[in-house]
Amino acid sequence: MHANRRKFLRQSLATAAGIISAADLSAYDAMKSRPIRHEGFETKPVSKHTAPIRFSVIGLNHGHIYGQSEAMIRNGAQLVSFYAKEPELISGFTKRFPDAKLARSEKEILEDSTIQLIVSASIPIDRAPLGIQVMKHGKDFMVDKPGIVTLEQLEEVRKVQKETKRIYSIMYSERFENRATVKAGELVKAGAIGNVIQTIGLGPHRINLKSRPEWFFDKKHFGGIICDIGSHQCDQFLFFTGSTQAEVVASQFGNVHYPQYPNFEDFGDMTVRGNGGTGYIRVDWFTPDGLNTWGDGRLTILGTEGYMELRKNVDIAGREGGNHLFLVDKKETRYFDCSKDPLPYGQQLIDDITNRTETAMTQAHCFLATELALKAQQQARKLDLKK
pLDDT digits (tens, 9 = 90+) for 246-293: 999 999 999 999 999 999 999 999 999 999 999 999 999 999 999 999
pLDDT tens readout for residues 109-120: 999 999 999 999
**pLDDT of res. 23:** 38
Give the pLDDT band of residue 51 (cuts 50, 70, 90). confident
**pLDDT of res. 386:** 77
Q: Which residue has the higher pLDDT, 12 or 114?
A: 114
Q: Which of 24-33, 180-189, 220-229, 255-264 has the lowest mean pLDDT?
A: 24-33
Domain count for the chain, please give it: 2
Give the pLDDT band of residue 385 (cuts 50, 70, 90). confident
Same domain, 89 and 181: no
Query: Which residues make Cβ contacts (< 8 Å) with residue 341, sequence separation at least 6?
Result: 179, 180, 182, 183, 323
Q: For residue 141, report the phi and psi dihedrals to the nearest 5 degrees.
A: -135, 130
Same domain, 76 and 138: yes
Same domain, 160 and 216: no
- pTM of the predicted model as reported, rounded to 2 decimal places: 0.86
Which domain-ending residue is among 171, 187, 211?
171
Give the residue numbers spanning the domain of 91.
54-171
Same domain, 229 and 201: yes
- Cα–Cα distance between 284 and 207 in angstroms, integer? 9
Mean pLDDT of the chain: 89
98 cis-preceded (ω within 30 degrees of 0):
no
Give the pLDDT band of residue 1 (cuts 50, 70, 90). very low
Q: Is residue 27 part of a domain?
A: no
Q: Please determine, for residue 179, whether its predicted confidence score (pLDDT) is greater than 50.
A: yes
Which domain-ending residue is among 153, 171, 189?
171
Same domain, 213 and 148: no
Amino acid letter, 178: N
Which domain-ending residue is among 141, 156, 171?
171
Same domain, 289 and 146: no
Q: Is residue 15 part of a domain?
A: no
Same domain, 134 and 240: no
**pLDDT of res. 50:** 53
Residue 165: give its domain's CATH number: 3.40.50.720
Residue 220: give its domain's CATH number: 3.30.360.10
Q: Is residue 311 part of a domain?
A: yes
**pLDDT of res. 6:** 43
